[in-house]
Structure 1
Amino acid sequence: MKMSLRQLFAPALLAVALTPLAFTAQAGHHEGQGMDREAMMERMEERRQEVYQRAELSGEQQAALNEAHAEHREAVLNLREEHQARVAEILSEQEQQALRDAMHEMHAEYRQEHGHGERGKRGHHDDSANEMDAEEAATE
């Protein structure tokens, strides 16, 4: 069966559209972000629908992809919870906070060195990304 370019690139386009959803899962636990999270989720859903339309996916394909994404997201969230529990077994709350602080500092320094300005100190998604980095660093 011969695939069109559109069919070949549909998974890549979908991945690009869905990648930020991983960050929204992390961002939801920060106070004061409820409305921002909802708005971001809406924008992501709109983007996903646009990707589906551009790729000319059928309704059946869209539903199957949405189901696969939901299952993946659930698995990632469960794995993240397991990882956080493991980190909590290894480090005290104070040590975890020290690790997060060190990661924030290093991230800010990196962003400043590479011309990304002050946003790196406490950007809108930096906290969740840095927590993930800190957790990964704790396991290495």
Structure 2
Amino acid sequence: MKLSLRQMFAPTLLALALAPLAFSAQAEQHEGRGSDADREAFHQRMEERRQEVYERAGLSDEQQQALNEINAEHYQAMQALRAEHEEKVADILSEEERDALKEAMKEVRDEHRGEGKGHGRRGGHEHQNDEAEAASE
């Protein structure tokens, strides 16, 4: 069976198209932002984009259903892993210490985002490498 380029690259295109959505959803959930209405609107937009990706990739209904099922399994596994991690952290840190850690992480993230303007979401790496090189001299 000979596959077209579209069929060969469909899984890769799908993963690339959905990755930013997954990261955004994870970030919003992790930070606890947004109301129920915001989350519902976000999920609706995500579903619309997923459907558009499926259509562009030329996936059959069966393929779409199978992908939706494994994505749901993956999401559930990630939720379970997150809960397990939170339990382990709670065994190590008090609630006040966890809050202090979250605040420190937010401050560092915000500082790095300010430094990395123009370098993308995770920018600032070049600046950090320059500082490390200067320190080693």
TM-score w.r.t. structure 1 length? 0.73
* C-alpha separation in 1, matches of 2:26 and 2:76: 10
Q: Distance in 1 between matches of 2:13 and 2:22?
A: 14
- 1:54 aligned partner: 56
Could you list the structure 1 runs, at least 4 aligned residues long, displaced by more than 6 angstroms after superposition: none
* Aligned pair partner of 1:86 in 82, 85, 88: 88
Report the identity percentage: 55
2: CA distance between counterparts of 1:26 and 1:2? 40
1:66-88 deviations in Å (ceiling 9; x for gaps): 11111111111111111111111
Q: Give, in whole Å, the separation in 2 of the partners of 1:112 and 1:31.
A: 21
The structure with the larger Rg is 2
Aligned length: 116
Query: CA shift at 1:10, angstroms?
Result: 1.4
Judge conservation of contact 2:28–2:34 (CA < 8 Å) in 1.
no
Per-residue deviation, residues 61-109 of structure 1 (Å, max 9, x unmatched) = 1011111111111111111111111111111111111111111111111
Distance in 2 of aligned mates of 1:74 and 1:90: 25
How far apart in 1 are the matches of 2:110 and 2:29?
Answer: 22
Q: How far apart are the structure 2 equivalents of 1:26 and 1:88? A: 20
Name the TM-score, length of structure 2 as normaliser.
0.75
- 1:96 equivalenced with 2:98 (yes/no): yes
Report the CA distance shift for 1:5/1:54 in structure 2 as closer, same or farther (over 3 A). same
Residue 18 of structure 1, CA deviation: 2.7
Match of 2:114 in 1: 112
Q: Structure 1 residues 3 and 62, CA, compared in 2 at 3 Å: closer, same or farther?
A: same
Whose relative contact order is higher, 1 or 2, with alpha carbons under 8 Å and at least 6 apart? 1
Partner of 2:125: none
- Tell me the CA shift for residue 9 of structure 1: 1.9
Unmatched segments (≥5 aa) in structure 2:
119-137
SS at match of 2:112: helix
